[in-house]
Structure 1
Amino acid sequence: MERARSAVTNFFGRVPLTYTRFSLTQQMDTDNSQVEMKLAADEEDCGDHTLGDHVKHRNGNNCKSLCFKILGISLVFLIGFLIGYLSYRGRVASTPAVNGQNGQCLPVVVNTSSLTKESPSEQEEERIPEPQEPSLLHWNDLRDRLSFKIGNVFFEETIRKFYEESHEAGSLNDESRGLYIHEEFSKMSLDKVWEDEHYVTLQDAGSSPNKVTVLKSGNAIETFTPTAYVAYSPAASVTGNLVFCNYGRKEDFKTLQEIKMDLDGSIILVRSGLISFSEKVANAELFKAIGVLIYPDLSDYTYPGVERTIESPFGHAHYGTGDPYTPGFPSFNHTQFPPSKSSGLPKIPVQTLSSNDGKKLLERLEGDACPSDWPLCRLGPQLKDANGIKLEVNNAMAEKKIHNVFGVIRGFDEPDRYVVVGAQRDAWGPGVAKSTVGTSILMELARLLSDLVRTDGYKPRRSIVFASWGAGEFGAVGATEWLEGYLTTLHLKAFSYVNLDSAVQGAGSFSVSASPLMYNVIEKTMKEVKDPAKTDYTIYAKLGTQASNWIQNIVVPLTMENAAYPFLAYSGIPSVSFCFQKDNKPYAYLGTKMDTLQNLKQLLNADFDRVCRTAVEFAAQIILRLTHDSTLPLDYSRYSKELLDSVMALNKYARDIKGMGLSLSWVNSARGDFYRAASSLEGELSQSDLDNRPVRRAFNDRVMKVEHSMLSPYVSPKETPFRHVLYGSGGHTFTALLDHLELLKINETLFDKDLFRNQLALLTWTFQGAANAMAGEIWEIDNEF
């Protein structure tokens, strides 16, 4: 104390004794505050002399004593004030405040006049506001609040708001649905609600019904008139023999080829399921068929109640997505574009039949017995009491206007990065399970998540875009046109897509289709969401012994029928789609006029609301995980295994490849570079200061490039839109390369060595490009080719 007193004495002995002033200012609306402390009444108390001079005088000693007393009191007051002020600021900072419109969380501002006795009319120094920070809500608190809110949702009430007997794309009912969704989004106080419109080419049923006729000597002996049609089938009439080809997969056609079945000029009868209608038709064209009939086999589906019949389902035959008459570019104003046509449009007519009609045709077939793993039947082409089949399709083209409706919750840290969650709005027929449930889930997600922001103080780091798509029944037309419209920027901004279509088809089993980047998020979510059929277990725990190998057990490939497919294969955006089913089979009435609310409720029984709530919680947790953490939780290391599996598959042909004078060392090196880049990124991430925004942003940039770098840069997005080398479609894909190599075993004369060299080289450089994109700056890349 003596040493401190001496230091203070020496200090004041060397400076004039005047006023000492400090201010604590915090801007709060129009209030001003200032704290001013006086160490001496005025300069005259001690005169114009220094403290050292006053020591010589008796009255100087009194002044010195007075100064020390005032200084001591001031220091005590200052220390107490600062401790109280900092403590108050700490308590306020830990409590999120919700102010203003749209439920935005704003910084809490303290009025310092309430902390002092100074008048609010005194002047205040202006404080620079700090940037808003994302929510500090712990994940467990956030999850519990979400679960509580979901528990109060009654889905049947929401579904009935969207229930209509018909709401086909471009119809008045579809448009009124879009307007209603726009209004509901606006009521939720989302940050912005908007829509875009497209002028697209769809198909309607023709003025005359489509027919399938059994002929005998040119005369009709039995005629089937289906209730549905297959969009984009050419209007045509063909007559030929009938041949059964199971599901219409490539392997099914190869089976017929191996037994020398002549398919040239035949009409092919196939079961629905496993692959899309468009793939079945494309395969039939490849083997020179002239028409395709598709029917649902009863054994492939689940049903409500005991009824065992399925009407002819609606579908489309475009081997692609989007408007097939504006391939590769958006149809914002269709009239501005020159005539164009997708190469994926079918050249042969196609029609669906009911399960009963398909069974009748199958029973008419004679000829060789079907393979043992096919249904118990005959292959044809001979028919009992008949000698031919006539297929008549009268579909008519139709120009229609469709709408996509959007709403957004802006992120607080990286608002220009967003997760998109969407559902198709239209359906052929009632479409309850097909589109109404997905739309209802979308609306509840928007309501719940906006409420978390508005009332619970949650601040998502990244933005959430809610999308209601038009013309989903015709091949994700609305979603694809949007992707085409913003192709050059979306891969830099949209980091994931969550699809809600057909998510509820029963209870008891669960399946998911996703990019490998999403696997980690999916696994964590399955470990926290309760299974709807067995609520004592989470979805993950219910898998039992299969849980450790869940990817092989519940992950199914994305097909072109899924709206998540163009996001992944066309735009390079990691995507996920999920489905609750009964007995691990699809719902029988999807795409038919039997897809009603009554039938879906009968299918689910008492589980109806519970399954719908589980679907909401599963989607919501994925969205929150993607927007909660400071770094994107996309598991880029998963692709190391995907690339390794690809290289291992190629190694089976190592001897053949070496015989061409080629080597697999290049593609092995590219895979190794990808593995090293992923490991390096993981190591850098663990050692970096993630509180530093530029550093955090740079890491997220590198993670976002991984999926997009899997799109081949060597093919045109117009001619070959699905450019993803692992999950896309076309000659640039890894699957196409393996199919080409397979010709060495089937028919070596068809193998094109130069084509294979190009396929291998371009695939290798696509893998290498993915590794380079993840590695960081160009000077940090060390390739050793």
Structure 2
Amino acid sequence: MRKIHLLIIFCLTLFVCGIDLDPNRAKTQSVLINNVDGLKIKENLIAITAEPHVAGTPQNARVAETIANLWKRAGLEDVRFKEYKALLSYPDYKNPNHVSIIDKATGKTYFETNGTSPVIIPSEQSTPGANVQWLAYSGNGTATGEPVYAHYGREEDFQTLKAAGVSVKDKIVIIRYGLVYRGNKVKLAQKYGAKAVILFSDPAEVAKDGTDPSKTYPNSEWMPSGGVQRGSLEVGPGGDVLTPLVPAIKDGYPTLTIEEAYEKQIIPKIPVIPLSYGDAYHVLSRLSGKAAPNDWQGGFNFTYRYGPGLDGQNFVLKVDVNSKLEIRTIRNIVGYIKGAVEADQYVILGNHYDAWVYGSLDPSSGTAVLAEVARAFVKTMKQTNWRPARTIMFCAWDAEEYGLMGSTEFIEEFEKQLSERTVVYLNVDSIKSNDSFAADTIPSMFQQVIETAKLIPNPMEKEIQAGRTTLFDTWFNTFPSKSIPNHPDYPVMDIPGGSSDMAGFLNYVGIPVIDFKYRNATWTEYPLYHSLYETVFAEEHIFDTKDFAVHRALGQFWAELARSYADKTIVPLNVTIFAEQLVYSYVHDLQKVVKTLANKHPEIADAANQVEKFAAASERLFNRVQDLDKQVQNDISIAKWYSNRVSKTERCFINPNMSPGQPQARHLLYSISEKNVYAAATMSHVYDIVSEIEKATDVNTRKELGVKLARAIALVQYGVNCFINQFDDVI
């Protein structure tokens, strides 16, 4: 039966998704792809990364002007700024933060960090203050105490410490970067009573080939011993800390005070500091206490210990942080190529432009490519007399690094208009490596994303020599997927998380999104992440040495994907593939879990019954979209009607009742983890209740949770019903 479904999908979607409003599509496509120029991307990158540009600073305002001028010269229409007022955080650049080992009896200092990273490429990294090590929204002040090592700072790590008899209350907690968002680590440490937190990069993650200088930057992509990861510690709904869920406009009014933000643990009160592995060595190697488990060990050649305390009875740690909070202006940049047929329908391309330092990888690699995509589009229009049918909107977001602020404020201000007008949102945060293209997206976009990747020439010569001539070939070879029903020839495409500006578009408004990049196959985050060493040297001499060919390939993909969504008669959102994923993956997996639970605990029978109703509704949806495909095949006159309905179906899964404790998390199917802002989950509000049932120890509690689970499943079912109703002419 599934083979028959696959054949039907293949035949019908070829027809439905393959019609272009441009009669000269092949020529337009070819000209557009060829017009993207790698060397012009390099020129843009050099201009954008001339100085550090933290959000809210005069330097970042200058970068915004540079981008706006690039867009205007390219020929974009109505280029403008959209300003907001946001609570931001800054260090004292003249008085860097420090960690010290001191003798509490005598006050003598045995070791002290200098709070800065060494400049390695003076021509690119010598701006005063650029090398200061800091974390946004750290509490201001000094803390002295015994250190405790808490591994990655997850809930299970704190529970391991508790089981070992190690308390973190009133301790300075040392946590390793990785696996989860840094803000979630600090929030947990504060919850368990820590008086300060040190975050460090372990050589096991950032210097896997060894810490000898010959094996690290500038000789490779691995972090040198003095490098640190900067970043934000904000853990909230996204956007301005003081105006959650409403836009931070000039004449608005804050919905929170700073003290309330502290109370809600959106930002930490305790001092937090990042350490390089070179400095962390001096602290970790002196830790006393029990040896940590094997899986807590890292890249240093000594045994990692829990603590508390340091070798030497009187030694303690001291953390000094100089941090301030200020309300400052942030500015998004918006520009357009107006559509010739459906000008009020937007295909949005977005990237943020603020950076922690120079930001040549994150985000300026994407910023430079976006400006070149704009130039290539306008040049193609002049050469071919073509204009996209739908409007292409270009967005450069500010203050993303602080907590997706620019894009979130924009979404909060224009939620209704974006919901009505936006077809898709296409995001690039950064280009991190030259191993492979990768994409996070939702099932309805799978087919068009893959078709586009097959059109783009492979930028890597070694891959071409191996017979992999397109972007898609390397992608599938590097990240093959076995989990997409009926599509063994698809590569991995995960659900987008909360790590970049696509989050609000999908999770708050229900707009189809994609976030794509070039990345390394063996790590999810690149070693030089948010460090001083993200300057043009990294791209030009380490991973994109052939005329910025990797940047060009990503730009070619971005441009052609945007053209496809802007020009096809029927917006290429494949609801049949979505229905497949719903029936054969989401529903199938949930049925197995709930059935197993119900067999063990009969008191959750309501949930077991509801999941079967959910399954039946999902099967009806699957059958309905196949019938619709046949209708469009037989009557092309309904193409516009069909396209309009398809482009709004994702909105059916937006429900503010999904998670009252997380009002920004409104998508019933795809949501962001409370425990890790970077991660996405499918039906997390459902599976969280399943987890509670598994942990419950009495019948009455399980019965209450079973009712709660049935209601949560029903919410998703209402979204499925809405999806079906979307194609009815009467209600």
Instruction: Compute the TM-score of the two structures, normalised by the length of structure 1.
Output: 0.75
Shift of 1:310: 4.5
Deviation at 1:632, TM superposition (A): 1.9
Match 2:628 to one of 674, 684, 692: 684
Distance, in Å, in 1 between the alignment partners of 2:185 and 2:160 is 15
Residue 381 of structure 2 is matched in structure 1 by 453
Corresponding residue number in structure 2 for 1:378: 305
Aligned match for 2:110, one of 217, 221, 245: 221
Distance 2:54 2:478 in 1: 44
Q: For each residue in 1:314-341, what CA deviation from the matched residue of structure 2 results, as whole angstroms up to 9, or x when unmatched?
A: 2001113211111111111165345445
Paired residue for 2:5?
none
Partner Cα separation in structure 2 for residue 439 and residue 750 of structure 1: 56
After TM superposition, the structure 1 = structure 2 runs for residues 340-355 of structure 1, keeping only pairs within 5 Å, are 340=257, 342=261, 343=264, 344-355=266-277
Change (3 A) 1:180 1:466: same
The correspondence of residues 276-287 of structure 1 with structure 2, limited to 5 A, is 276-287=181-192
Q: Does the Cα contact within 8 Å between 1:417 and 1:493 map onto a contact in 2?
A: yes
Contact 2:289–2:309 (CA<8 Å) still a contact in 1? yes
Q: Does 1:247 align with 2:187?
A: no
Match of 2:504 among 566, 569, 591: 566
Indicate whether 1:592 and 2:592 are aligned.
Answer: no
Which residue type is aligned with residue 423 of structure 1? N
Counterparts of 1:545 and 1:602 in 2: how far apart (Å)? Answer: 24
User: Once structures 1 and 2 are overlaid, which stretch shifts more, 221-230 or 315-324?
Assistant: 221-230
Count of residues paired in the alignment: 647
Contact 1:475–1:560 at 8 Å: present in 2 too?
A: no
Deviating more after overlay: 474-483 vs 383-392: 383-392
CA distance in 1: counterparts of 2:611 and 2:544, whole angstroms:
53
Aligned position for 1:658: 602
- Matched residue of 1:662: which SS? helix
Q: Which amino acid letter does the alignment assign opposite residue 219 of structure 2? A: G
1:689–1:541 Cα change, 3 Å: closer
Q: Is the 8 A contact 2:171 2:194 kept in 1?
A: yes
Tell me how far apart the structure 2 counterparts of residues 404 and 691 of structure 1 sit (CA, whole Å).
43
Partner deviation per Cα, 1:736-766 (whole Å, 9 max, x = no partner): 5434443455563799557635642442232
Return 334-343 or 762-771, whichever deviates more.
334-343
> Residues 686-711 of structure 1: CA distance to partner in whole angstroms, max 9, x if unpaired?
32269766x33432343233333323
Q: Deviations over 1:380-429 (max 9, x none)?
A: 22322254333333210112111111111122332222121111112122
Q: CA deviation at 1:505?
A: 1.5
Say whether residues 1:360 and 2:292 are aligned partners.
Answer: no
For the residue of structure 2 that corresponds to 1:336, the secondary structure is coil
1:181-218 CA distances to partner (integer Å, 9 max, x unpaired)?
Answer: 22332333334322211111101114743222324335
8 Å contact from structure 1 (residues 328, 717) kept in 2: no
Q: What secondary structure, in the 3-state scheme, does the structure 1 residue paired with 2:607 have? A: coil
User: Structure 1 residues 756, 588: CA separation in 2 closer, same or farther (over 3 Å shift)?
Assistant: same
How far did 1:304 drift?
4.3
Measured in 2, the distance between the counterparts of 1:674 and 1:765 equals 12
Write the distance in 2 (CA, Å) between the matches of 1:602 and 1:596: 11
Q: Is the 8 A contact 2:478 2:521 kept in 1?
A: no
The alignment status of 1:508 with 2:435, answered yes or no, reads yes
The aligned amino acid for 2:625 is: L
Tell me, in whole angstroms, the C-alpha distance in 2 between the residues paired with 1:709 and 1:290. Answer: 45
Give the 3-state SS of the residue equivalent to 1:185 in structure 2: helix
The answer as to whether partners of 1:705 and 1:773 remain within 8 angstroms in 2 is: no
2:449 counterpart of 1:544: no
3-state SS of the aligned residue for 1:505? coil
Aligned match of 2:33: 147
What are the ranges of 5 or more consecutive residues in structure 1 without an aligned counterpart? 1-132
In the alignment, the residues of structure 2 paired with residue 484 and residue 352 of structure 1 have an alpha-carbon distance, to the nearest angstrom, of 32
- 2:35 counterpart letter in structure 1: K
Q: Identify the residue that residue 56 of structure 1 maps to in structure 2.
A: none
Moved more, 463-472 or 228-237: 228-237
Q: Could you say which residue in structure 2 is the equivalent of 1:735?
A: 684
1:776 is aligned to: 725
> Are the structure 2 counterparts of residues 761 and 208 from structure 1 closer, same or farther at C-alpha, using a change threshold of 3 Å?
farther
Q: CA deviation at 1:580?
A: 1.5
Tell whether 2:224 aligns with 1:308: yes
Partner Cα separation in structure 2 for residue 565 and residue 416 of structure 1: 23
Which structure exhibits the higher relative contact order, with contacts defined as CA atoms closer than 8 Å and separated by 6 or more residues? Answer: 2
Contact 1:717 1:723 in 2 (8 A): no
Which one is further off, 345-354 or 322-331?
345-354
Q: Which amino acid aligns with 1:353?
A: L
Q: 1:496 to 1:252 in 2, by over 3 A?
A: farther
Aligned amino acid, residue 579 of structure 1? K
Residues 739, 763 of structure 1: CA spacing in aligned structure 2 closer, same or farther, 3 A cutoff?
Answer: closer
Answer yes or no: is the 8 Å Cα contact 1:541–1:547 preserved in 2.
no
* 1:489 lines up with 2:417 in the alignment: yes
Q: Which residue number corresponds to residue 199 of structure 2?
A: 294
Counterpart in 1 of 2:545?
606
Moved more, 338-347 or 153-162: 338-347
Distance across 2 between alignment mates of 1:312 and 1:587: 12
Q: Partner amino acid for 2:453?
A: M
* Counterpart-to-counterpart distance in 2, 1:260 and 1:643: 42
- Check if 1:624 corresponds to 2:563: yes
Does residue 395 (structure 1) correspond to residue 323 (structure 2)? The answer is: yes
- 1:435-494 deviation line (CA, Å, top 9, x unaligned): 222111110111112222332233323221101111122122111110111122322222
Deviation at 1:612, TM superposition (A): 0.8
- Is residue 157 from structure 1 mapped to residue 89 from structure 2 by the alignment? no
- 1:560-608 deviations in Å (ceiling 9; x for gaps): 3322222222222222212213453333222122211123322215245
Match of 2:8 in 1: none
* Structure 2 residue aligned with 1:767: 716
Work out whether 1:431 is the aligned partner of 2:359. yes
Match of 2:242 in 1: 325
Tell me if 1:422 matches 2:350: yes
Q: Mark the CA change 1:615 to 1:647 in structure 2 (over 3 Å): closer, same or farther.
A: same
* Separation in 2, partners of 1:519, 1:492: 23
Tell me the distance in 2 between the aligned counterparts of 1:349 and 1:557: 34
Query: Alpha carbons of 1:322 and 1:713: their partners in 2 closer, same or farther (altered >3 Å)?
Result: closer
Contact conserved, 2:166 with 2:306, CA < 8 A, in 1? no
**Corresponding letter in the other structure for 1:581:** R
> Partner residue of 1:526?
453
Label 1:446 to 1:645 Cα distance change in 2 as closer, same or farther (>3 A). farther
Task: Specify the alignment match of 2:650 in structure 1.
Answer: 707
Are 2:400 and 2:500, in contact at CA under 8 Å, matched by a contact in 1?
Answer: no
Q: 1:338 to 1:328 in 2, by over 3 A?
A: closer
Conserved in 2, the CA contact under 8 Å of 1:298 and 1:308? no
| 1:212 lines up with 2:99 in the alignment | yes
- Residues 447 and 270 of structure 1: is their aligned pair in 2 closer, same or farther, counting only changes over 3 Å? same
Give distance in 2, aligned partners of 1:263 and 1:749. Answer: 31
Structure 1 partner of 2:75: 189
Opposite residue 222 of structure 1, the aligned amino acid is F
Read off the aligned partner of 2:684 and give its amino acid letter.
T
Contact 1:475 1:563 in 2 (8 A): no
Deviations 1:337-377 (A, max 9, x none): 45445543234332211121123222222323333233252
* Residue identity opposite 1:429 in structure 2: V
Question: Which is worse superposed, 301-310 or 230-239?
Answer: 301-310
Deviation at 1:674, TM superposition (A): 2.7
Query: Residue 497 of structure 2 contacts residue 671 of structure 2 at CA under 8 Å; is this kept in 1?
Result: no
Query: Highest Rg: 1 or 2?
Result: 1
Work out the CA distance in 1 between the residues paired with 2:700 and 2:427: 40
Which secondary structure does the structure 2 equivalent of 1:430 belong to? coil
Q: TM-score, normalised by structure 2?
A: 0.81
Q: For residue 233 of structure 1, what is the amino acid of its counterpart?
A: S
Query: Root-mean-square deviation (CA), in Å?
Result: 3.2
Distance in 2 of aligned mates of 1:379 and 1:368: 6
Contact kept in structure 2, 1:711 and 1:766, CA below 8 Å: no
